[in-house]
Structure 1
């Protein structure tokens, strides 16, 4: 299957934000290789606090030449200065030439929806057990590869990912919350 590529190459490494990694996220952004990706979620904040936190973090991300993606609407992403949007295929809205559109998918049906929505890439999850979905079903390595082979979209592995798990999975493009937020010296 031919992998469709977005107009600009997608980074190989992606950091996602949420309440549990907020306290150390600036340092995590600094540790990422230059030109990595950052998905700002921060669903735990009210709208004003969320906008303010995004403004702080986008500046730090830009210092490291990271692509910045907002979990929000296209209009919001443009207003806030994000490079793109992230979410379920149904939330991506109409194509916008100026925004990178990254979908989420947990099964073959959502993968097809991402393709129909014209996504530029797709986060396929959860590959491994994750704190985001404690006790939930996972794809495992075989399930992940089966889904990844069913699409021409660039696939980003998500869910319980670490550098070691990405290597075991044999997949170069991956994302994490905890797996990229802890400093190398922390337990």
Structure 2
């Protein structure tokens, strides 16, 4: 997940992600022209490194898919069962369930924990990506709980 808080660390992070990793381009707060320019730079790196690039609205050309609560989204954020069901109905191929743990990007939001996070997506037959306070160590413990992957912002800094 990209975020303004990453600053110039974003470029180092993109260059160190393993091929096949996904990147959800956010940067909501940038003015439209600056956001498009940054997306173009991220897209160049993603293509060169064989990273899968998703964009959060508005749609940006060259993204492999869209992330968010919008029609046609490829990936969908789910913080509860109703949001997970909405993602399934909308045709999302992947759910980001969050926050598993406390996170700086959503201060004060209670953590779900792994069990509740899995119950949110239970029976939907969608890959579930753990988000919120994630680290490589935490994901190693979650792999056996059925999570398809993990995403982070601050873990990469």
Q: TM-score range by the shorter chain?
A: over 0.9
Q: Write the deviation string for residues 16-50 of structure 1: whole angstroms up to 9, x where unpaired.
A: 00111132111101111111101100012011110
Corresponding residue for residue 7 of structure 1: none
Tell me if structure 2 keeps the 8 A contact 1:105–1:124: yes
Paired residues of 1:166 and 1:172 also in contact (CA < 8 A)? no
Pairs aligned (count): 154
Gap regions ≥5 residues in structure 2: none
Out of 87, 90, 110, the residue aligned to residue 137 of structure 1 is 110
Cα pair 2:132 2:152 within 8 Å, conserved: yes
Q: 2:84 aligns with which of 111, 134, 157?
A: 111
> Contact conserved, 1:18 with 1:177, CA < 8 A, in 2?
yes
Confirm or deny: 8 A CA contact 1:67 1:83 kept in the other structure: yes
Aligned counterpart for 2:17 among listed residues 32, 51, 55: 32
Q: In angstroms, what is the RMSD of aligned CA positions?
A: 1.4
1:178 corresponds to which residue?
A: 154
Aligned to 2:131: 158
Distance 2:41 2:13 in 1: 14
Gaps in structure 1 of 5+ consecutive residues: 1-15, 183-187
Matched, 1:86 2:67: yes
> What per-residue deviation string (whole Å, max 9, x for no partner) do you get for residues 75-96 of structure 1?
x33xx211100012xx1x2x4x
Give the TM-score of the pair, scaled to structure 1.
0.78
Q: 4+ runs of 1 displaced by more than 4 Å?
A: none
- C-alpha distance in structure 1 between counterparts of 2:44 and 2:22, whole Å: 14
Shift of 1:138: 1.2
The answer to which structure, 1 or 2, has the higher relative contact order (CA under 8 A, 6+ apart) is 1
Q: Equivalents in 2 of 1:86, 1:142: separation in Å?
A: 24
Aligned equivalents of 2:152 and 2:124: distance in 1? 21
1:116-137, Cα deviation, whole Å (9 max, x unpaired):
0010111010100001111111
Q: Compute the TM-score of the two structures, normalised by the length of structure 2.
A: 0.92
Q: Distance in 2 between matches of 1:35 and 1:126?
A: 24
5 Å-filtered alignment, 1:8-87, equals 16-73=1-58, 76-77=59-60, 80-87=61-68
